[in-house]
Every structure is written in structure tokens, then in C-alpha cells.
Chains A and B, each alone.
Chain A
């Protein structure tokens, strides 16, 4: 063991390209996860076109648009955090990461109020109000809760990840020479953004 430990201390192997490929492989699985759901959405939207239109009117386009702007901006601050650390500006990188977390938090706050308003109106999976509606509307809200819910879960995980990266940056684990961790968290965060780019028009803009 000690020989191995000595070897490691002498030569730390790094393969950043391999690390990036690993993250992308993980992102592909996410693509399949959400891709499958979008396929289900496509079939049901086609089958219940009119009911999907009626159901989508219940959604708040303003909150949806606001959340789109928040998420796009958080993607920008995330990528700027990487530029900053590469320019060896530790303070600015931490600043951008914290802003990203705040924006993600803002997204979740909006999501909370949006969901709460729906639940307050009696629209949630299995509720009497919802079950009294047609099949198409039940399916629309089912997909709405599952897809935006799973997306929201990704936002929460992203917040934790970026929080860990902020700590790494403070400690110097992430620095101008070695920022692959931050890059990986960034790639994950941008994927979450891309999923929202599709969720937004498909749920909020079909009235």
C-alpha cells in the first residue's frame, strides 16, 4: 500500500478529457430519462390536443417566462464562474457561483408558489377536482407534475453541487489550473437549463 501511496504522491495522473467524457456519458442517461418523458408527452398531446390546450390555460405563463429568464441567467453566471477561475480570479469565480445558487433558489421559490397555487385550486394528482376533468387534462397535469417535478429535483441537486464547488474553490481544490470539477458541475447545470428550454414552450405556451 505504501508503495502505491508514494507513487500517487509523486505522479498525480490527470485526464480531464476523460473526466469530461464521463460527465457527458452521464448527461446522455439524463437525455434518455427526459427524452422518454417527452415522447410520452408527444403521444398524449397528439391524442388529446384540445384538452391539452384547455389544461395549459391554467398554467401561469408569467411565472414560466420569469423562471426561463432566471435559469438562462444562472447558466451565464455558471459559465462566467469558469472563465473567472481560469483567469485566476478566485473571488469573482466564487461570486458568480453564489449568484448561480441564488438564481436557482429563486427558480425553486417561484416553482413553490406556482405549485402551491395549483394545489390550492385543487389541481394535484388524484384530487377530486382533477379527476372530475377529462382524461386529457388529467394526463396533462400528471405530466406537468412529474416532468417539472423531476426537473425541480435536478435544480435542487444542481444547487448542492454548485455549493460543493464553491467550497472547493474557497479551499483551492478548484483553481486556475484544475477546474474540471467546476466544469463538470457546469455541464450538469446547463443540461438542466436545456431541459427547461423544452419544458417551457411545451407546457406554458400552448394556450
Chain B
């Protein structure tokens, strides 16, 4: 059992505070995205909404999904999956030049 105990600890000291803070930031970003949606920025309206969504996802992945505490190999593992999604998006956008 001993060797297994070494690798199943996600982080050393679990605390409630950090997650509540992340949640507050997520709520704030939701407020921003709703408020901004009413304003017409023209072409960058979608970009703004997506940027906020990406920031929110980053926070969920890093803190709620504990990626922050995972090893570099693990992060690479997740990164490769995201990279492939990014490649599909890039290839699609090269086919449909969204201009």
C-alpha cells in the first residue's frame, strides 16, 4: 500500500477558501459576459464572449478539476487533447475563411 499512497494525494492541504474565491470570479465573469452582450462591438462581439468563456474554462480546469496540482506529464496529457481540438478548429477555419 505504501507506494500507492504517494501518488494519490492531489494536493497537500485541502482548503475551502480558494474554491470559493474561484467561484466568485466565475460569477463576476458571468456578469461581465451578460453585460457586454448588450453592447455591439461588431466583429469582436463573438470574440469577447468566447474569450471570457475560455478564461472561465481555464479557471474550472485549473482549480475545480485540480489540474494545478497534477504533474507536468498529466498537464501535457490534457494539453495534447486540447491541441487536437484546436487543430480541428484551425483546419475548419482555414476551409471557411470567416471574414
Complex Cα gap A68–B23 (Å) = 12
Complex Cα gap A75–B50 (Å) = 20
Number of interface residues of A (CB under 8 A): 51
User: Across the interface, which residues of A come within 8 angstroms of B33, CB to CB?
Assistant: 200-201, 205
Is the Cβ of B78 less than 8 Å from the Cβ of A24? Answer: yes
A122 within 8 A of B: no
Question: How many A-B contacts are there with CB distance less than 8 Å?
Answer: 117
User: Across the interface, which residues of A come within 8 angstroms of B93, CB to CB?
Assistant: 42
From A42, A87, A178, B92 is in contact (CB under 8 Å) with A42
User: Across the interface, which residues of B come within 8 angstroms of A194, CB to CB?
Assistant: 56-57, 60-61
Contact with A along B82-96 (1 / 0, CB 8 A): 100100110011001
Is the Cβ of A201 less than 8 Å from the Cβ of B96? Answer: no
Interface secondary structure of A, over-half rule:
helix
User: Across the interface, which residues of A come within 8 angstroms of B7, CB to CB?
Assistant: 15-17
User: Across the interface, which residues of A come within 8 angstroms of B15, CB to CB?
Assistant: 83
Is the Cβ of B85 less than 8 Å from the Cβ of A15? Answer: no
Chain B minimum-CB-distance residue to A19: B8
Please judge, given known A-B contacts A21-B74, A32-B85, A46-B96, whether A61 and B34 are in contact too, CB under 8 Å: yes
6 cross-chain pairs, A with B, having the tightest CB-CB distances, nearest first: A16-B8, A205-B37, A201-B49, A76-B23, A28-B81, A14-B4
Knowing that A17-B8, A79-B63, A197-B60 touch, tell me 9 more A-B residue pairs with CB under 8 angstroms: A20-B70, A28-B81, A31-B81, A80-B16, A187-B65, A193-B64, A198-B53, A201-B33, A205-B34
